[in-house]
Amino acid sequence: MLEIIDVSRRYGEYLALRDVNLRVHAGEFFTLLGPSGCGKTTLLRSIAGFDHPDSGDILLDGKSLLHLPPEKRPVHTVFQSYALFPHMTVADNIAFPLRMAKLDKTEIARRVEEVLEDVRLPDKARHYPQALSGGQRQRIAIARALVNRPRLLLLDEPLSALDAKLREQMQIELINLQKDIGITFVYVTHDQGEALALSHRIAVMNQGEISQIDEPAQLYNCPGNRFVADFIGQCNILDGTVIESHSDRVDVELDGLGRISLSAHIPANLHSGERCALTLRPEKIRLAKQLEANDAELHFRGQVHDTLYMGDVTIYIVELGEGVKVEALLANSAPGRARLFDPGDTVEIAWHADAGHLVR
Amino acid sequence: MARPRKTLLLASALVYLFLYIPLAVVVVFSFNDSRLNAEWVGFTWKWYDQLFSNPQMLQAARNSLIIALAAALLSGVLGCLAGIALHRFRQKWLSALVLGPVAMPDILIGVSLLLTFMLFNIGLGSISIILAHVSFCIGFVALAVQARMSGMDDSLLEAARDLGASPWQSFRLITLPLLLPGVIAGMMMAFTLSIDDFVVTFFTAGVGSATLPLEIYSMVKIAVTPEVNAVSTLLMLLTLVLITVLSRFSPQSLRS
Ligand SMILES: Nc1ncnc2c1ncn2[C@@H]1O[C@H](COP(=O)(O)OP(=O)(O)OP(=O)(O)O)[C@@H](O)[C@H]1O
Ligand SMILES: [Mg+2]
């Protein structure tokens, strides 16, 4: 329903958006994820009509939005600062888009009441925004943006001003709200955890470009490149050189670790001699004092270099020789102890031959 | 602890005495039943009665009020626009420039306005006084409005547009109501400045357009009569009321 086609945006010398292409489906919870300054807000503002691409097109239901001013686009935004009008009550704030659309009074009153129920704040209609808590303001901002039933709802880091507990609660509410009303969401965040938890699909952006668009699990397990692997979750990135590529496996010489054979998740057209990297999630690595040999696994011996106690798990940084370090983690299920191994201990680690994902 | 506190109290008491004794003298003698401002004889309303039956004085009061109201309204509208423009352009030197006429010596403004009016053939009278007052009042409104604007979240206007308001609707429904306290504070300041002004008015007034301060001055040239005391007392009262209302307004006008 929303198509971004070859959109570029330049600020002076700086390219904030570079040939961005993406397609959002109707009813989807779509997230733009990327580090600060990668152009997420610029893209969102172009969709809303507050910024204009230098080239490319933005289509909604097949029709270009570019020549329309913001008030004529069937797209509403939830601003990071909430942007509630301080001189209007909650009810008047929510009624604002309905009044602009010239709905009649009784219909406005009915819709305001209804949406206040949806965000579970029916008793706050007569309050002013200043008298609400952060989470309540957030909900009112969402209610105001939803009340006129836009085709598309844009949300720019709407939860970033909330504390961690409230954020988690609001995430659950957002998911449910989106599911109930079925409006397409385009959500911006730099928090990869939030993106994974909320979205149907995620576009990872880096320096104005789209790095990868995929479903959360696919993005996490099969990152398309080093940037995505590194940006989403914890990840070991082991550099190496392709020795030989077969149809079902690839032989790789990992720097400092020697030759290994990997199955699954192999990018297309790998050439012998090409540099590549194995991306490997810490939780995919087994770690113990001694591990029984297993043909399906790759086996290494190393020394614990550092440990990081995280409460639920402890992260072990294991040196496998010649400066190659790997992060592995163990759940702290046994009571009492903060870690099972100390720095200097010799340990064995292993991972399944198809556990990692090879990227260029 | 106690000693510095007492010293402070004493010091501020002295400052207030210094500020208000001259005013108190005027007030007291305006009720004195004697033509001489020398000793207390007895209480009377007589001078106020005389004041209100003096046609020249009433005419001057009417002039003053009309001019102050007009100056406040005009500088309210123009200053509001100027304040928005100042906020948009974000140039320090522009803000400084708008306050120029306020910082300039009154006599200089008076003379230069007189010259300008003569140059452009604008007859001296109420109109010329209003224009003159507006010229030094705009700055106050503009600065008050600019302060409100910079305290205002820019995304409010974007939100209004986003939710379907045209540029004009978002100005009328969002910008204007949020600026109003600043505009009102600026207009009351303008009213106070206008009604008190002597020097600039002196240069730009014509026949029949004398304001209260000018009228008082012409009476005082002969002698400080109790009538002058009475009219001064009234003027003082009006100013005090305005200042009190203003002080209610301005802290809020600076808050975002
Ligand atoms: N009006 C502007 N003028 C010049 N440069 C701009 C302007 N707006 C954005 N930029 C630049 O464009 C780049 C992308 O900005 P954008 O606000 O889209 O980033 P973002 O991904 O939303 O980052 P954040 O997570 O910090 O909000 C930044 O480097 C920013 O400095
Ligand atoms: Mg941003």
A1 by Cβ neighbours in 10 Å (0-12 / 13-18 / 19+) ranks as middle
**C-alpha B1 to ligand 2 mean position (Å):** 52
Q: How many contacts, defined by CB atoms under 8 Å, are there between A and B?
A: 58
Chain B touched by A144 (CB under 8 Å)? yes
Contacts of B164 in chain A (CB under 8 A): 71, 97, 100-101, 148
Closest CA to A287 of A227, A241, A328, A331: A328
CB under 6 Å to ligand 1: residues?
Answer: A 11, 14, 16, 34, 36-42, 190
What pLDDT, on a 0 to 100 scale, did the predictor assign at position B256?
Answer: 36
Distances (CA, A) of A148 to A74, A76, A103, A137, B163: 9, 9, 10, 18, 9
Judge whether A330 and A287 are in contact, CB under 8 Å.
yes
B28 Cβ partners below 8 Å, 6+ apart?
Answer: B40
What pLDDT, on a 0 to 100 scale, did the predictor assign at position B254?
Answer: 41
What pLDDT, on a 0 to 100 scale, did the predictor assign at position B255?
Answer: 40
Q: Choose which residue among A18, A41, A43 to substitute to test ligand 1 binding: the one with the highest number of ligand atoms within 8 A of its C-beta.
A: A41
The answer to whether the Cβ–Cβ distance between B159 and A71 falls below 8 Å is no
pLDDT tens-place string over residues A33-86: 999 989 999 999 999 999 999 999 999 999 999 999 999 999 999 998 899 999
Contacts of B169 in chain A (CB under 8 A): 100
Nearest-CB residue to B155 (from A70, A75, A79)? A79
Q: What's the token pair of residue A107? A: 């219909």
The answer to whether the Cβ–Cβ distance between A71 and B177 falls below 8 Å is no
What pLDDT, on a 0 to 100 scale, did the predictor assign at position B67?
Answer: 94
**C-alpha A70 to ligand 2 mean position (Å):** 18
What pLDDT, on a 0 to 100 scale, did the predictor assign at position A4?
Answer: 94
Q: Choose which residue among A7, A13, A14 to substitute to test ligand 1 binding: the one with the highest number of ligand atoms within 8 A of its C-beta.
A: A14
A189, β-bridge pairs: A33
Q: Whose CA is nearest to atom 26 of ligand 1?
A: A36
Q: Whose CA is nearest to atom 24 of ligand 1?
A: A36
Minimal C-alpha gap between A322 and chain B (Å) = 54
Chain B touched by A93 (CB under 8 Å)? no
Q: What's the token pair of residue A189? A: 């965040």
Give the other-Cβ count within 10 Å of A123's Cβ: 9
Closest CA to B117 of B246, B36, B184, B203: B203
Q: What is the mean pLDDT of chain A?
A: 89
Contacts of B252 in chain A (CB under 8 A): none
Phi and psi of A186, rounded to 5°?
A: -115, 115
**C-alpha A13 to ligand 1 mean position (Å):** 13
Full 3-state SS string of chain A: CEEEEEEEEEECCEEEEEEEEEEECCCCEEEEECCCCCCHHHHHHHHHCCCCCCEEEEEECCEECCCCCHHHCCEEEECCCCCCCCCCCHHHHHHHHHHHCCCCHHHHHHHHHHHHHHCCCHHHCCCCHHHCCHHHHHHHHHHHHHCCCCCEEEEECCCCCCCHHHHHHHHHHHHHHHHHHCCEEEEEECCHHHHHHHCCEEEEEECCEEEEEECHHHHHHCCCCHHHHHHCCCCEEEEEEEEEECCCEEEEEECCCEEEEEECCCCCCCCCCCEEEEEECHHHCEEECCCCCCCCEEEEEEEEEEEEECCCEEEEEEECCCCCEEEEEEECCCCCCCCCCCCCCEEEEEEECCCCEEEC
**C-alpha A41 to ligand 2 mean position (Å):** 4
Ligand 1 atom closest to the Cα of residue A188 is 22
Q: Where are the domains of chain B?
A: 45-255
Judge whether A176 and A126 are in contact, CB under 8 Å.
no
Instruction: Search chain A and give the residue with CA nearest B164.
Output: A71
The band of A264, judged by pLDDT with boundaries at 50, 70 and 90, is low
Q: Whose CA is nearest to atom 19 of ligand 1?
A: A37
Contacts of A144 in chain B (CB under 8 A): 163
Nearest-CB residue to B164 (from A50, A81, A97)? A97
Ligand 1 atom closest to the Cα of residue A39 is 18
Contacts of A128 in chain B (CB under 8 A): none
Judge whether B73 and B65 are in contact, CB under 8 Å.
no
Ligand closest to Cα of A36 equals: 1
Q: Whose CA is nearest to atom 22 of ligand 1?
A: A41
Minimal C-alpha gap between B92 and chain A (Å) = 24
Instruction: Search chain A and give the residue with CA nearest B166.
Output: A71
Domains and CATH numbers, chain A: 2-227 (3.40.50.300), 234-359 (2.40.50.100)
Chain B touched by A46 (CB under 8 Å)? no
Judge whether B36 and B226 are in contact, CB under 8 Å.
no
pLDDT score of A106 more than 90: yes
What pLDDT, on a 0 to 100 scale, did the predictor assign at position B250?
Answer: 55
Ligand closest to Cα of A34 equals: 1
Chain B touched by A76 (CB under 8 Å)? yes
What pLDDT, on a 0 to 100 scale, did the predictor assign at position B159?
Answer: 94
The answer to whether the Cβ–Cβ distance between A97 and B174 falls below 8 Å is no
A1-10 mean pLDDT: 93
Q: Choose which residue among A4, A11, A36, A155 to substitute to test ligand 1 binding: the one with the highest number of ligand atoms within 8 A of its C-beta.
A: A11
B45-255 maps to CATH 1.10.3720.10? yes
The band of A265, judged by pLDDT with boundaries at 50, 70 and 90, is low
Neighbour order of strands in the sheet with A209-214 = A75-78, A152-156, A184-189, A29-33, A201-206, A209-214
Judge whether A78 and A158 are in contact, CB under 8 Å.
yes
pLDDT score of A249 more than 70: yes
Minimal C-alpha gap between A337 and chain B (Å) = 51
Q: Provide the residue-wise pLDDT of chain B in tens; the chain has 256 residues.
A: 556 788 899 999 999 999 889 889 888 888 888 887 778 888 888 888 888 888 888 888 889 999 999 999 999 999 999 888 888 887 778 777 777 777 788 899 899 999 999 899 888 888 899 999 998 888 888 888 888 888 888 899 999 999 999 999 999 999 999 988 888 888 988 998 898 899 999 998 888 888 989 988 888 888 778 888 888 898 888 888 888 887 776 544 444 3
The CA radius of gyration of chain A, in Å to the nearest whole number, is 25
Chain B touched by A74 (CB under 8 Å)? no
The answer to whether the Cβ–Cβ distance between B158 and A50 falls below 8 Å is yes
